[in-house]
Structure 1
Amino acid sequence: RAGDCYDNAFMESCFGTIKTELQMTEYESYQDALRELTEFIHYYNTSRLHSALGYLSPSRFETTVPPLK
């Protein structure tokens, strides 16, 4: 089947956020890049507030909002 623009929309959104919020730089090593990306993902999930989640972080949202049934 031919792909369409919505097949990869979620990942494109994630990559867009990373490109916007991380300082795009050349890293000395793969390990340096991996460390910065890991730190950003931790920050994004535990500290960064999301308007779509009622200005909670994703981890706080998961622990305070009851799951949908």
Structure 2
Amino acid sequence: VFQQGNAAIHNAGLTRDFLQENNITLSDHPACSLDLNPIENVWGWMARKVYKNGCQLQTVDALHEAI
């Protein structure tokens, strides 16, 4: 069973045809549902920590150190 959002590209005819031709079952996924992708939450948490207090990093090395 495959889950996808209701983005326009997911609902395109070619996408629907591919899924049907390959017998891929889709789970119901309501439009405008909550973002349940945990990596998005991790990225948000990390960005808030790295850039707290308006910190601006000037080099890749500085970013690595902050992370």
Same structural fold, with TM-score higher than 0.5 when normalized by the shorter chain: no
Greater C-alpha radius of gyration? 2
Question: Relative contact order (alpha carbons < 8 A, sep ≥ 6): 1 or 2 greater?
Answer: 2
Structure 2 length normalisation: TM-score?
Answer: 0.37
- Per the normalisation by structure 1, the TM-score is 0.36
